[in-house]
Structure 1
Amino acid sequence: MTFTRIAALAATTALTATAAFADAHVDRTGWPESFTVGTASQGGTFFVYGSGWANLVADELGISGGAEVTGGPMQNMALVHTGEAQFGLTTMGPAAESYAGTNPIAPGLQMTGACAMFPMYQTPFSITTLASSGITSISDIPAGARIGFGPAGSTSDTYFPAMLTALGIEYDRRNGGWDDLGGQLQDGLLDVIAFAAGVPIPAVSQLEVQTDINIIEFTEEEQAAILEAFPVSAFEIAPSTYTTLEAPARSVAMWNFAIANCDLPESFVYAVTDVVMSDNERMVGIHSSARETLPENWDKNTSLMWHPGAARWFIENAGATIDPATIYGN
């Protein structure tokens, strides 16, 4: 299982005493000399968010670290489970499938070596077309439409095709990175892109600068049908998210969580969690979706065992009532 290194590793020099865990009093026994964070394709929110917090943690803790382009949540579960990546980003649906042994990357393997670290944000499911296509609703999508669902094995590729099938849409399924699919849509090689990513999605923001697009919402009936059939919750994309939107766009969403290899030292994961969760303003500066990267959202973990270092941080700093039976190693 290979993946391409994109972010250069951050400098390993010691930092100033203002860094939360950079002083000599912290037990760094067993800490890795470097770390990687599995994200997703370029042009998606996972890559921007993951690259940003990887660099932030590397800077604050004085450890070499950076982000990796991957196939997204399913592959990240596999990479973190095996320890090929120390950290990764996933969503609750793929996490549950990976624990159950139904991850398509390694069917039958229960990937219980990946533990919950901290809540990220909700991933809305949204549809984008060129305005010139005339498609203004899901029911307008013609039979056989060429739909880009993101990287193979991503949250979007795992759930959006099934959602559209449930809504009676017939399509020609295409995969690729978000930047690439955005270019294909603009060049007329795709009819629709079905995104599942934190908003604003960089590829959509870029598209609406370059051309006129439609952002398609679910009808109330379509939303209700999807809520009944899939592990998602109701969501509205705020009109301030994109210049194209003039009103809230009805959608559904799934929570994302950062994950850590369960065998990483407790003190290390505690320190990483502290860097990310103690200053939300810095995280929002990385990507606006981090407005939901808040301590009180610890309870959105519905699928994963907790890493003991992360669990201790939320118990001590956020008043979390985490069941000890859900903490790895207990």
Structure 2
Amino acid sequence: MQRRTLLASSALAIAAPALVSQAFAQPRNAAWPRALNMGTAAPGGTYALYGPAWGQLVQEATGINVSFRTTQGPNQNIILVQRREVEIGMTTMGVALQAWNGQGDWTQGNRFRDIRALFPMYDTPFHGIALKRSGITSMALLAGKNVGVGPRGGTPGTYFPLILNTLGHRPGSVRFGSGSDMSGQLQDGLLDAFLFASGVPVPAFSEAETSGEINFLDFTPEEVTRLTSNFPELSPSTLPASTYRTAGRELRVVGMYNFAIGHRSLPEDLVYEMLKAVLGTQPRLRQAISAASETVAANAGKNTFLPYHPGAARYLREAGQTIPDNLILA
């Protein structure tokens, strides 16, 4: 609980000025908007902490007030950015690929072509936990069990049902909700396992460690091979044993990269300054949330399909990254 409290406190502290009234916002450029809205995610996941952290850096650098909207995660963030109900947000690249092509049930066949990539955030590893007393030690043992997978509109809520189905480990029921809610249901015996995908350490998993003995659930080598063959947006990875206090071993996972996104209508010079604020002062972001250790320009190549905003591409090229012309779209 202490680690979760420290993480949350750091993020809230860095985000506190965002609560100031928009009346006090003084953009550095009169042509810029006085306020920006950011889509984040439900409590218990990394977006809820990471979003306010980078939003505060943007606010300080631009003078624009940044406010935060709790959402169901990547899917809803994309919908909201497309509609300009928020101007900036965060998503995983698998969900972004579905959005761009209009694939996946949640898109209802619509192609979300007004979203633009801003900057790389961090990798999202898929893994899970179960109470030790449940006897569940692997994904294969989830067949017929009650499983929580986070918000319905989030990356784990979208992908874990597909992952389990592909592996043939079909649960008895799949439940959706915030990370903190899923963790509570696990402790209360309403769930047999809680599967999630987020920056690590997952705050809800770290909290669960302090409440009782848990098993960490990862994938076998054969399962990793099957998943990466069926989902090219997933890549094999490992989590060090030190990721969690009680894991006691390296975890074999599959991962998906996260990116900040924005609406294509954002001014080019504003987006340039936003990236300068985030990537140019990355150590500050890393102090607020450990997942930001991967928030560096060098990871821009993790995006191979979603067009970059011209302002983002300009900054990344100046930072030494190769951004193809066909991956830049106004």
Q: What is the TM-score when the length of structure 1 is the normalising length? A: 0.90
Secondary structure of the residue aligned to 1:109 is: coil
1:92 aligns with 2:86: no
Partner of 1:155: 155
Alignment of structure 1 residues 134-213 onto 2, 5 Å = 134-141=135-142, 143-171=143-171, 172-213=173-214
Partner of 1:256: 258
Partner of 2:234: 232
Partner of 1:64: 65
Q: Provide the rounded CA distance (Å) in 1 between the counterparts of 2:314 and 2:170.
A: 48
Give the Å deviation of 1:322: 1.2
Give the Å deviation of 1:32: 1.1
Q: Provide the rounded CA distance (Å) in 2 between the counterparts of 1:119 and 1:252.
A: 18
Greater mean alpha carbon deviation, residues 213-222 or residues 53-62: 53-62
Q: Is the 8 A contact 1:10 1:59 kept in 2?
A: no
Alignment of structure 1 residues 19-98 onto 2, 5 Å = 28-98=29-99
Q: Is the 8 A contact 1:10 1:58 kept in 2?
A: no
Give the Å deviation of 1:225: 1.0
TM-superposition CA deviations, 1:98-155 (whole Å, max 9, x none): 01123544422211111000000000000110111111112222x3211101111211
Count the aligned residue pairs: 312
Q: Which amino acid aligns with 2:218?
A: E
Structure 1: 5+ residue stretches without partners: 1-5, 16-21
Secondary structure of the residue aligned to 1:163 is: helix
1:284 aligns with 2:286: yes
Computed over aligned residues only, the root mean square deviation of the Cα atoms, in angstroms, reads 1.8
Give the Å deviation of 1:29: 4.9
Partner of 1:306: 308
Q: Provide the rounded CA distance (Å) in 2 between the counterparts of 1:106 and 1:253.
A: 22
Secondary structure of the residue aligned to 1:135 is: coil
Give the Å deviation of 1:303: 2.6
Q: Is the 8 A contact 1:235 1:251 kept in 2?
A: yes
Q: Provide the rounded CA distance (Å) in 1 between the counterparts of 2:305 and 2:246.
A: 35
Greater helix fraction, Structure 1 or Structure 2: 2
Q: Is the 8 A contact 2:40 2:69 kept in 1?
A: yes
Q: Is the 8 A contact 1:73 1:91 kept in 2?
A: yes
Q: Which amino acid aligns with 2:147?
A: I
1:243 aligns with 2:245: yes
Secondary structure of the residue aligned to 1:121 is: strand
Secondary structure of the residue aligned to 1:285 is: helix
Partner of 2:102: 101
Runs of 4+ in 1 over 2 A off after TM superposition: 6-15, 102-106
Q: Which amino acid aligns with 2:66?
A: G
Structure 2: 5+ residue stretches without partners: 1-11
Partner of 1:126: 127
Greater mean alpha carbon deviation, residues 256-265 or residues 130-139: 130-139
Q: Provide the rounded CA distance (Å) in 1 between the counterparts of 2:104 and 2:78.
A: 9
Report sequence identity in percent: 42
Q: Is the 8 A contact 2:94 2:256 kept in 1?
A: yes
Q: Is the 8 A contact 2:305 2:327 kept in 1?
A: no
